[in-house]
Chain A
Amino acid sequence: MKYTSYDLIVIGSGFASTFFLKKYLSKAPSTAKILVLERGHLYPHAERVKEKRGEATAFASLNPLAIDTFENTNDSKDWHFSIGFGGGSNCWFGCTPRFLPSDFKMKTLYGVGNDWPVSYDDLDPYYTEVEDLMSISGPADTPFRRTKPYPQPPHLFTAVDKKLKKEYGNKYISQPTARSRVAVNGRGVCCASTVCNVCPVNAKFTIENSNLNVYEDPRVEIEYGAAVYSLELVQNMARKVNFVKDNKELQIGGEVIALGTNPFFNANILLNSGDTNPHTGKGVGEQLGMQVHVYLDDMQSVGGSTWVNANGYMLYDGDHRKDYAACLMESSNEPFFRPESGKWRNMASFRMVFEDLPDPDNYISTTGDRLKPKVHFKGHSEYTLKGVEAMKKSLPKVLSCLPVEKIIYKDAYPSEAHILGATRMSNSAAGGVVDKLLIHHQYRNLFVLGSGSFTTFSPANPTLTLSALSMYSADHAF
């Protein structure tokens, strides 16, 4: 490290950290000193593809496996994430729908959960900015308000999608996505390989291919292999960051500190530091997802141009959310088929994603290993499970415009790869950990970024919203 203290120290280099830094750098003076502490290392995309092809690469063992970095108390629940430079951008699938305005007002509109301290309108310009920076592909007509067209044209529908679009208008749309429809910034064009965690043609936005010039900025210094485990908290301020690098105990001071790791580790660092906010670590969760196969008579599902061709909002918003969870439909374009003569692709497949509400019985605690949080998850809420049953009753009617032969409901997935909650946002310390700018209610120079701040768990994918929140936070705080 070049200096003994920094103006800003950011922990982690995923979406939350990177978009926070992007906005911060646009406002900071040329003399600003910024340190990024990243637990892992850069594992370049080209090397990841080599590994997937079965070829040897020295990079493969650089970063720890996610499963080795935390204790899971629930064998039936998985949690998927990625350690290393770029964080979750190295394993996400690039789905970027916005939240609906109602997602921010669950208490007011439906009497469940809590309202977010920020509104859709607060975030709208930052949604637009992130969509431009990620060069998102999306349609003109959406169920959420937009002030500007998406930077890339929409992906193409299958025959089934076209039929549903005709029936439901702007409740059935080409999915807004960071999987390119046209080549941009060195990214290829998505061609529906459907293995998006590592895109074979580098069409998906990642921090590595972002061209955001954050980590190349001369004001920014990045330390790889720096595993942060706690902060020094003194008189309601975060003064120093404690970490291990190359088996050495290190400490560095910062005027402002931003935690940008995932909710498990943000909570673990706060708990290790002695944060006594009763909500810290509480209410961790994610959405529930399940696949539904729909067998069709005399109709083929062919012609889509990406992994998830479309989003369906037919079961999402409405008064039913007073009683049970919203459901977002994702139309899959994987190479699935029926092993039946003459009916090979007479089939559609939808991932049904249900919202959830934070529950204090699902929480993070510390362990004897200061780098290793323990995750306690007893299960999804009744609210969510009722949503699943309601979907099963409603889906035949929703799909009645299609020649449906049979609907097959698969078991729920063990993970949606979206860790949410544990440091949630609220108007005061009585209701959560951070305020609307993602600043800790007690430690006013400490930002706790990312999807841990989500007050409720919309069925929409979280990455776009957490990135927009980071930009909103940095824009208003500096």
Chain B
Amino acid sequence: MKRRNFLKFASIGAAALAVLPGFSLYYASSRDCAVDLILDEYKFLKIGREEVVKYVDDFYKLHPVEESTPWQMKIKIHHYFNIATVRSEMLVKGFLLSTNFFMNKMDETKPVEYISLYNPYKQPCANPFSFMYYPQQNISS
């Protein structure tokens, strides 16, 4: 390949690499990104995609942020660039608290099933690490 052609193809390739993620970032649904983000965070657990979809649907009903541009950007950027999910903690951490995972005492071999959104006002005393789930007689220092 002549040097000129090589440079031409290389430039086109580089431009495509730069633009395509931008397009997919723009057109991807933040809902799908949110689901992927959660599945990716907990990829070592047995979680069916449908469980996360149900959770994200309920999450957006309670937190009407789906149409918010800053929220969309945050979710998409975190997803596409694989950024630690600290800033999406409410979404990502909330998923596991809304499942049977902690009731199953964090048994990673059991399938994780969505129950309902974690909300202390709808289910008081649901803190899965409290004395109600870990009786004192079983706690040692």
Chain A interface residues toward B at CB < 8 A: 49, 52-54, 156-159, 162-163, 165-166, 191-195, 198, 200-201, 301-305, 333-335, 337, 339, 341-342, 344-345
Contact = CB atoms under 8 A, between A and B. Distances in A.
B119 interface: yes
A474 B2 CA distance: 95
A305 B121 contact: no
B119 A53 contact: yes
A191 B121 CA distance: 12
B125 A345 contact: no
B42 interface: yes
Interface string B62-106: 100000000000000000000001000000110011000010001
B48 interface: no
A165 B129 CA distance: 19
B129 A162 contact: no
Nearest to A301: B129
Contact of B136 (A195, A198, A303, A344): A303
Contacts of B124: 191, 193, 200-201
Contacts of B5: none
How would you classify the secondary structure of chain B's contact residues: helix, strand, loop or mixed? loop
Given A341-B44, A344-B106, A302 B125 contact: no
Contacts of B133: 302
Contact of A159 (B97, B118, B139): B139
B60 to A, nearest CB: 13
B4 interface: no
Contacts of B120: 193-195, 200
A192 B125 contact: yes
Contact of A158 (B62, B108, B132, B139): B139
Highest count of chain A CB atoms <10 Å: which of B96, B124, B128, B133: B124
A303 B134 contact: yes
B136 A156 contact: yes
Give the interface size bracket for B toward A.
20 to 34
Contacts of B85: 339
Interface string B121-141: 110111111111111101111
Interface of B: 41-42, 44, 62, 85, 92-93, 96-97, 102, 106, 108, 118-122, 124-136, 138-141
19 contacts: A159-B140, A162-B139, A166-B141, A191-B124, A191-B127, A191-B130, A191-B132, A192-B127, A193-B124, A194-B120, A198-B121, A200-B121, A201-B124, A302-B139, A303-B131, A333-B129, A335-B128, A335-B129, A337-B96
Contacts of A333: 127, 129-130
Contact of B131 (A53, A193, A304, A335): A304
Contact of B122 (A53, A166, A342): A53
Given A195-B120, A339-B42, A303 B139 contact: yes
Contacts of B140: 159, 162
Highest count of chain A CB atoms <10 Å: which of B96, B134, B138, B140: B134
A341 to B, nearest CB: 5
Contacts of B130: 191-192, 302-305, 333
B141 A163 contact: yes
A344 B99 CA distance: 14
A471 to B, nearest CB: 33
A201 B125 CA distance: 9
B55 to A, nearest CB: 16
Contacts of B135: 303
Highest count of chain B CB atoms <10 Å: which of A53, A192, A198: A192
Given A194-B127, A200-B124, 19 more contacts: A49-B121, A158-B129, A159-B140, A162-B140, A163-B141, A191-B127, A192-B125, A193-B124, A193-B126, A201-B124, A302-B129, A302-B133, A304-B130, A304-B131, A333-B127, A335-B128, A337-B93, A337-B129, A341-B44
Contacts of B132: 191-192
A165 B138 CA distance: 17
Nearest to B92: A339
Contact of A339 (B41, B128, B138, B141): B41
B139 A54 contact: no
Contacts of A337: 93, 96, 129
- What are the nearest 8 A-B pairs in CB distance? A162-B141, A191-B125, A192-B130, A303-B139, A200-B124, A193-B120, A163-B141, A302-B134
A399 to B, nearest CB: 14
A165 B126 CA distance: 26
A54 B62 contact: yes
A93 to B, nearest CB: 14
Given A158-B139, A200-B121, A305 B131 contact: yes
Nearest to B128: A335
A192 B131 contact: yes
